[in-house]
Every structure is written in C-alpha cells, then in structure tokens.
Amino acid sequence: MRRTVLKSLAAALAGALLSLPMLARAQAQPVDVEFYYPVAVGGPITKIIDTMVADFHKENPDINIKPVYAGSYQDSIAKVLTTIKGGSKPPQLAVLLSTDMYTLIDEDAIVPIDTLAGDAGKAWLGGFYDAFMQNSRTGGHVWGVPFQRSTIVMYYNKNLFKAAGLDPERPPATWQELVDTATKLTKKDASGNVTQWGLEIPSGGSFAYWLFQALTTPNGAILMNDAGNQVMLDKPAVVEAAQFWRDLSAKHGVMPPGTIDWGTTPKDFLEKKAAIVWTTTGNLTNIRANADFPFGVAMMPKKVRGGSPTGGGNFYVFKSGTPAQQKAALKFAQWATSPERAADWSIATGYVAVTPAAWETARMKKYAQEVPAATVARDQLDVSVAEFSTHENQRVTKLLNDALQAVLTGSKQPQQALSDAQREADRILRPYR
C-alpha cells in the first residue's frame, strides 16, 4: 500500500515537473495589441512610431504593440467603424481624432480610460493640459488620452515681410492687421496674375470646420455645447466669421478664390507662393526641415479675443480587447505620454507636448530655447477651445464643411448656408437631447 502511494506521488511530481516548462512558456507568452495609427501629416511619422514601439518592447518584453498604419484620420475611423459594424474585431488600441469620441461612445466601442486606470491613474490623467482634455471627457468619464495634439498657428515668411517693407518680427495680431499685411504681401505680374498670395487658409476636404474655428473663436463664438448634442452655427458672430473668410478672397483679394486644399498650404508656403499660411503646429517639423528661408510662427489674429481650437489625436482603448490587452494598451498610452516620451514626440513631430511636466524636461527646455516657435502653440492653449465635435460627428461636421465650401465658392451667402446647416444639424441631433 505504502509503495503504491509513493509511486503515485512520484508520478504526480514527475508530471508537475514536466509541466513547468510549458507553464513558464505560457506565462512568458507576450500580449499582442493591434494598434491603429493614422498617417495624416508629413514627415517620417511611421519610422518614429516604429522606434517608439521597439523602445517600449525593450522595457516591456511581455507586450507586443503591432502598429497598423491606417491612412488618414478619416480612413482610420472608417476602418474602425467597418470592423464594428461588420462583426470583425476592431483594434485594441488606436490613435483617432479627439473629435471621434462621441462616435466611439455611441458605437459602444471604447472603455473609459479613467475606469481602466483606476485610482492609481488619477494623477496621470490630471497631468494633461486642460485645453486638450476638453475633447477627451464627457458624461463624467475620461474616454481619450491626449497624444498628438495641436492648435492652429500662423506661419509667415520673414524674408517676404522684409521685401514688402514689413517688420519681420511683428506678425499681424488682429483681423484688420491681417488684411493690411496680406494686401502688402500679395504680388501680381504685368498681366495682373497673382504670383504671390498674401495669405492661405486651407478650406478643402474635411478640415474646413477646424480652420473656421480659428475665425469663430477670436470672434467670441462657440460652435457646440459640452454634451455634443447642440450646435450654434447661425449665430451673428459665426456668420460674421464666415463672411470675413469669404471677403479675404472676394473683397480683399489677398487669398486664392474658392477652396484651398489642406496639403497645398504648407507646400505653397515652402515654395514661396504664399507669404502667410494657417495650419497645424504638427507641420512645424516639416516646415523647419524644408524651408530655405527664415520663418516665424504666431497665434491666431484677434477680433474680440484670442484663441484657436485644439486639434489632433487621442489614444483610445477598445472594448474588444481582453482584460490583458486593455491593460497592455493602457500601459503603452501611459508610457507614450510620460514627460520624457511626450517631449521626444513633440521634438520629432512638431505636435504640442501634452503635459506641463514634459516642458520641464531638460530636452524640452533646450528645444524651446533653440526653437522658440514651438512654444507658440503651447502658450495659445490658455485661450484655446475644444475642437468641434458632436454626436453623429461625421454627419454634422460634413454639414458645416459643405456650408463653408458653399460660402467660399460663392454659391450661397453666409447666413443662408449656415442657417441651412443649423436646421439639418438640429434634426440629426434631436434624438440625443
């Protein structure tokens, strides 16, 4: 009997010992996280992301972050929504526009970051600039983590300012100064054809609404409420901003007629076809690398106040992930937004470092001294507002974009175009009130 028991114990022990390598291998199996990242701006962004992912894996060998470069922001959200509605598996982590928050909530696609991070994450979530958090929280929860965030800034060619008899250290600070300055910077040949535009504000494609906020905000107008279920598109200050945008071309002749493509703007600036352009601070590194002339960066010109909308992308963690994948995705988001990493990302890309702590790092302090233009967007955060975002965001934003294109092409007067957009937006958003 005793011999039988000893044999059984020995067999059990041998089995346990044999299973140890298998158990160790199972425990060592890394967690895979599919990560959608949009390639939406110029520069070697994919190489930067690949390097970040490799560095993270060195520090966290139990996590494999697998980037999927999903095209533009619009392509990325379309692919995410297709996976959700088509029944296939969405990514476990993505960088999407901060304005996609309501859409992702309505699709029940994402988890609240504050719930996932718990009490231990409160200090981390409290460390971001509040201007960026305005597009990251709603309904008492934080849903997105600021990552590649921006404001709109004004780039201007200092050599062209000098040639026009303007002070290269004094960019236009008001709407009237913008018109006066752009008038002096607009040049024509003997036949009357414009060879150099004083100003370009991009308006084509999907970003017209964002640039419009760089006019409505300085005019004291807010376009939507905090709940994302009401818009204010036909208020007098909004209509006045649309009229001013139209007048820059139709009345003052300082900007190309019709709509201007988003990608054309920095290209025209680098080729000296436009003396002043408005675009994202995310283009700073691209312009620094390619401009063969000294340039300045300035805040949005004022009408009744200063200000710009914030912009750019947030990290989102998806419900489709397992608890282990969600935890790993959160860890990567926390790592990527730590002060040193946020500073590295800002220096490499031109986006605004998303926490005050990042600006206190040695690298960022040195960079700010060497490239003072990088501090303009950061300082503008004090007067920045949330980017236009609502429930049914793609539909409502398209209404506003279409209205603005109608204004800029002259097919509708500003009041009519914006009243039409308001009426249709009210219909779309009514179920969310």
What's the pLDDT band for 88 if we cut at 50, 70, 90? confident
Percent of the chain with pLDDT strictly greater than 70: 93
Instruction: State yes or no: pLDDT of 13 exceeds 50.
Output: no
Please answer whether residues 278 and 213 qualify as being in contact, where contact means their C-beta atoms are separated by less than 8 angstroms.
Answer: no
**Secondary structure element (H or E) that encloses residue 154, with its range:** strand 145-157
Reported as a pLDDT band with limits 50, 70 and 90, residue 42 is very low
Say if residue 92 is in the same domain as residue 223: no
Q: Tell me: do 108 and 190 sit in the same domain.
A: no
36 falls within a domain: yes
State the total domains in the chain. Answer: 2
Residues 61 and 78 in one domain: yes
What pLDDT is stored for residue 2 in this prediction?
Answer: 46
Asked if residue 320 is part of any domain, the answer here is: yes
- Is 290 found in the same domain as 226? yes
Question: Do residue 343 and residue 402 come from a single domain?
Answer: no
Same domain, 377 and 400: no
Longest dimension (CA), the chain: 114
Query: What is the per-residue pLDDT for 74?
Result: 86
Do 235 and 360 share a domain, yes or no?
Answer: no
What mean pLDDT is predicted for residues 37-59?
84
Is the residue at 228 inside a domain? yes
Instruction: Quote the tokens at residue 346.
Output: 């800002």
CA of 11: how far to CAs of 14, 15, 16, 109, 188, in Å? 5, 6, 9, 49, 94
What is the predicted pLDDT for the residue at 282? 87
Residue 336 lies in a domain: yes
**Residue 6 covered by a domain:** no
Give the mean pLDDT of 127-151: 96
Residue 130 pLDDT greater than 90, yes or no: yes
H/E stretch holding 297: strand 295-298
Cβ(104)–Cβ(143) below 8 Å? yes
Instruction: Find the mean pLDDT for residues 269-294.
Output: 95
- Which has more pLDDT, 3 or 246? 246
End-to-end CA distance of the chain: 77
Cα-based distances in Å from 115 to 20, 125, 322, 353 = 35, 11, 15, 24
What is the rounded average pLDDT of the residues 114-123?
Answer: 96
Contacts of 249 (CB under 8 A, 6+ apart): 255, 256, 257, 258, 408
For the CA atoms of 336, 339, 342, 344, the dihedral, rounded to the nearest 10 degrees, stands at: -110
Query: Is 288 strand, coil or helix?
Result: helix
Please state the φ and ψ torsions of residue 172, each to the nearest 5 degrees: -60, 135
Residue positions counted in the chain: 433
Is 77 domain-assigned?
yes
pLDDT in the model for residue 205: 77
pLDDT digits (tens, 9 = 90+) for 182-223: 999 999 999 999 999 999 999 987 889 999 999 999 999 999
Compute the average pLDDT of residues 387-397. 96
Q: Choose one of 354, 370, 385: the last residue of a domain.
A: 385
Note the pLDDT of residue 195. 97
Q: Which CATH number fits the domain that encloses residue 407?
A: 3.40.190.10
Owner of token pair 């290209």: 267
pLDDT tens column, 303-351: 999 999 999 999 999 999 999 999 999 999 999 999 999 999 999 988 9
Give the three-class secondary structure for 192.
coil
Q: By three-state DSSP, how is residue 400 classified? A: helix
- Same domain, yes or no, for 263 and 169? yes
Identify whether residues 277 and 327 lie together within a single domain.
no
Q: Based on the domain organization, do 414 and 319 belong to the same domain?
A: no
Overall average pLDDT of the 283-312 stretch: 96
Task: Give residue 19's pLDDT band: very low, low, confident or very high (50, 70, 90).
Answer: very low
Domain assignment present for residue 142? The answer is yes
On whether both 51 and 170 belong to a single domain, the answer is no
Same domain, 158 and 210: yes
The confidence score (pLDDT) of residue 22 equals 45
User: What average pLDDT does the structure give for the chain?
Assistant: 92
Collapsed DSSP state (helix, strand, coil) of residue 430: helix
CB 374 within 8 A of CB 346: yes
Tally of helices (H runs) and strands (E runs) in the chain? 20, 11
Range of the domain at 294: 151-303+392-432
List alpha helices for 221-260, DSSP H.
Answer: 236-250
- 272 falls within a domain: yes
| pLDDT band, very low/low/confident/very high, at 40 (cuts 50, 70, 90) | low
The pLDDT, as a whole number, for residue 89 is 83
Total-model pTM: 0.88
